[in-house]
């Protein structure tokens, strides 16, 4: 065991639509502090960071969330071994193959620990005990999965049936994987025994996974390895080759490999696990008051029972209700029966189908330099609050269809307007005429807050022509000046 190096790979590709309206496509649940004061991805990274025998974590995410994740890691004092960017989501099998190819190039005997970014584990010591046992099996060539000892006849998870006990008592062979059952079938599994929930956590030697993939899903193996070989470094990120990775069939590691291989092993573990798949899961694990309520934020409850109530921007008060989920985010209020929260994604689908944007982004939109949030909007105007991180800068840009007025409300700003560069203190302002090159920078060590007033015929975010950008975003020359 001492000679085995474990490479934690954190998959951050989910959307978490059942946790809408807090979780949205551009800022999904793994980036949110749902269980503690830290984002779930950070909790996952901290679970494995700095432990003996572990390399620094490898993050796999999409392009849109790369700067948010980088900022969260930096704020938590964490440094990734690599941050790999998928050009598009192709499910967990291509991601696992890419991770294995990346690790194999550095250490062919390296053991990959594949972790979803959005799971909660209450008993971390039990988790690490199982990982230690899994590392021994993985080093011997097994493809290991971790089965959560079921606490009830759950119908929202797949199950794993244990086979024969393996030598040394570290785990079992896998008899079969089972799809999400109905309640009667799940009750039968618990009565029979030997069934565990499929937690979606895997462990394998990098070279062994690719060997098995070449047998059972050769297209995924070949294209994922090619995508890593042709990957390009972009700042602190490693971009997988888009053509090669997109050629991977979309499939899960369960279906592509684990259900077919003879090398599969399962280690049962009781570790206080939840995939936080719905608001009901947060109610289950949350600290409840004497009436069974879980409250987060500015909440007042009166004659209320068995409810989950979350206030993110203002006061939420309840009176004479029970078994509800109430989530307030500033731009959205969700009220649902607690036993119907698995259907929240139906609301998300209706919002998307109506051409609205509340499923996609919050009122606060994060950018690599900080964030902006809309305060007011009309036919020919929009007012935003911009927060710029210390030392950060927006791109050098212009707009063809709007003018802007910036007012410094906190901090110190360096602004470029045309050929002029000036410093602005609190309560000072500057006007940027339509079609004028401009840039906003924060040269100080404190956050910078700006009120931006836009005016013009069109105020969409796509009316931006970039000439220079420190974050490597697309530079677009204007079609006409």
Residue 371: which CATH number? 2.60.120.10
pLDDT at 478 over 60: no
CA distance 157 to 206: 27
Lowest mean pLDDT, pick from 157-171, 202-216, 296-310, 435-449: 157-171
Closest C-alpha among 391, 392, 394, 390 to residue 461: 394
Q: pLDDT tens digits for 311-364? A: 999 999 999 999 999 999 999 999 999 999 999 999 999 999 999 989 998 888
Side-by-side strand order, sheet with 308-311: 294-296, 308-311, 324-328, 333-337
Structural domain containing residue 384? 364-468
Q: pLDDT tens digits for 263-302? A: 999 999 999 999 999 999 999 999 999 999 999 999 999 9
Residue 124 in domain: yes
* pTM, full prediction: 0.89
Tokens of 327: 């989530």
> Could you tell me the sign of the dihedral formed by the alpha carbons of 351, 355, 360, 364, in that order?
negative
Same domain as 264, residue 139: yes
Looking at 251, 274, 297, which one is the last position of a domain?
274
Residue with more model confidence, 2 or 190: 190
* Percent of the chain residues past pLDDT 70, beyond the cut: 98
Same domain as 260, residue 292: no
- The mean pLDDT of 227-256, rounded to a whole number, is 96
Name the average pLDDT for the chain: 94
Residue 325 in domain: yes
The pLDDT assigned to 476 comes to 60
Same domain as 127, residue 224: yes
Same domain as 414, residue 270: no
- The mean pLDDT of 223-245, rounded to a whole number, is 97
Q: What phi and psi, each to the nearest 5 degrees, are found at residue 457?
A: -75, -30
Residue 477 in domain: no
The pLDDT assigned to 192 comes to 95
CA distance 432 to 339: 52
The label of the residue with tokens 């190819």 reads 101
Same domain as 230, residue 314: no
Same domain as 150, residue 58: yes
The pLDDT assigned to 66 comes to 92
- The mean pLDDT of 146-150, rounded to a whole number, is 96
Residues 338 and 324: beta-carbon distance below 8 Å = yes
Phi-psi region of 37 (alpha: psi -120 to 50; beta: other; left: phi over 0): alpha
The label of the residue with tokens 């999409």 reads 62
Residue 315 in domain: yes
Q: pLDDT tens digits for 158-194? A: 999 999 999 877 899 999 999 999 999 999 999 999 9
Same domain as 416, residue 313: no
Looking at 352, 373, 394, which one is the last position of a domain?
352
Same domain as 254, residue 109: yes
CA distance 416 to 411: 17
Q: pLDDT tens digits for 398-421? A: 999 999 999 999 999 999 999 999
Looking at 307, 331, 352, which one is the last position of a domain?
352
pLDDT at 222 over 50: yes
Rounded to an integer, what is the distance from CA 299 to the centroid of its chain? 27
Give the chain's domain count: 3
Same domain as 37, residue 102: yes
- The mean pLDDT of 8-31, rounded to a whole number, is 92
The label of the residue with tokens 């040269």 reads 443
For residue 477, what pLDDT band results from cuts at 50, 70 and 90? very low
Same domain as 297, residue 156: no
Residue 401 in domain: yes
Same domain as 190, residue 78: yes
Residue 437 in domain: yes
Q: pLDDT tens digits for 59-113? A: 999 998 999 999 999 999 999 999 999 999 999 999 999 999 999 999 989 999 9
- The mean pLDDT of 118-127, rounded to a whole number, is 96
Residue 420 in domain: yes
Residue 127 in domain: yes
Same domain as 331, residue 212: no
């Amino acid at each position: 065991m001492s000679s085995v190096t474990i490479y934690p790979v954190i998959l951050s590709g989910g959307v978490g639509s059942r946790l809408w309206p807090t979780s949205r496509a551009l800022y999904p649940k793994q980036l949110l502090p749902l269980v503690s004061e830290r984002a779930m991805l950070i909790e996952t990274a901290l679970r494995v960071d700095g432990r003996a025998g572990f390399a620094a974590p490898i993050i796999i995410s999409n392009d849109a969330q790369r700067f948010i994740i980088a900022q969260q890691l930096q704020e938590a004092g964490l440094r990734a071994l690599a941050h790999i960017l998928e050009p598009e989501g192709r499910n967990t099998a291509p991601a696992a193959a890419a991770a294995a190819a990346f690790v194999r190039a550095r250490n062919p005997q390296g053991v990959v620990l594949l972790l979803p970014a959005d799971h909660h584990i209450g008993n971390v010591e039990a988790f690490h005990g199982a990982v230690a046992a899994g590392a021994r099996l993985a080093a011997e060539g097994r493809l290991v999965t971790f089965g959560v000892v079921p606490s009830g006849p759950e119908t929202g998870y797949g199950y794993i049936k244990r086979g024969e006990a393996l030598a040394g008592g570290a785990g079992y062979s896998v008899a079969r994987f089972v799809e999400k059952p109905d309640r009667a079938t799940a009750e039968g599994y618990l009565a029979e025994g030997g069934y565990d929930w499929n937690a979606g956590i895997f462990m394998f030697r990098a070279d062994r996974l690719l060997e098995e993939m070449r047998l059972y899903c050769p297209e995924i193996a070949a294209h994922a390895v090619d995508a890593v070989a042709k990957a390009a470094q972009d700042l602190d990120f490693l971009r997988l080759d888009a053509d090669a990775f997109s050629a991977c069939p979309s499939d899960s590691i369960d279906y592509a490999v684990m259900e077919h291989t003879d090398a599969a092993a399962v280690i049962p573990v009781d570790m206080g696990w939840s995939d936080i798949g719905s608001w009901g899961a947060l109610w289950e694990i949350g600290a409840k008051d004497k009436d069974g309520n879980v409250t987060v934020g500015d909440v007042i409850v009166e004659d209320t029972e068995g409810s989950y109530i979350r206030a993110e921007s203002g006061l939420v008060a309840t009176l004479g209700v029970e078994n509800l989920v109430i989530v307030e985010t500033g731009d959205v209020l969700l009220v649902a029966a607690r036993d119907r929260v698995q259907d929240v994604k139906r609301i998300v689908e209706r919002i998307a189908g109506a051409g609205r944007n509340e499923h996609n982004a919050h009122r606060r939109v994060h950018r690599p330099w900080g964030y902006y949030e809309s305060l007011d909007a009309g036919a020919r105007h929009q007012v935003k609050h911009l927060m710029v991180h210390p030392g950060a800068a927006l791109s050098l840009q212009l707009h063809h269809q709007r003018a802007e007025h910036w007012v410094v409300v906190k901090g110190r700003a360096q602004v470029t307007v045309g050929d002029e560069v000036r410093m602005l203190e609190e309560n000072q302002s500057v006007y940027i005429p339509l079609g004028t090159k401009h840039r906003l920078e924060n040269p100080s060590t404190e956050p910078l807050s700006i009120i931006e007033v836009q005016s013009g015929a069109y105020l969409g975010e796509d009316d931006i022509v970039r000439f220079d950008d420190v974050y490597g975003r697309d530079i677009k020359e204007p079609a006409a000046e």
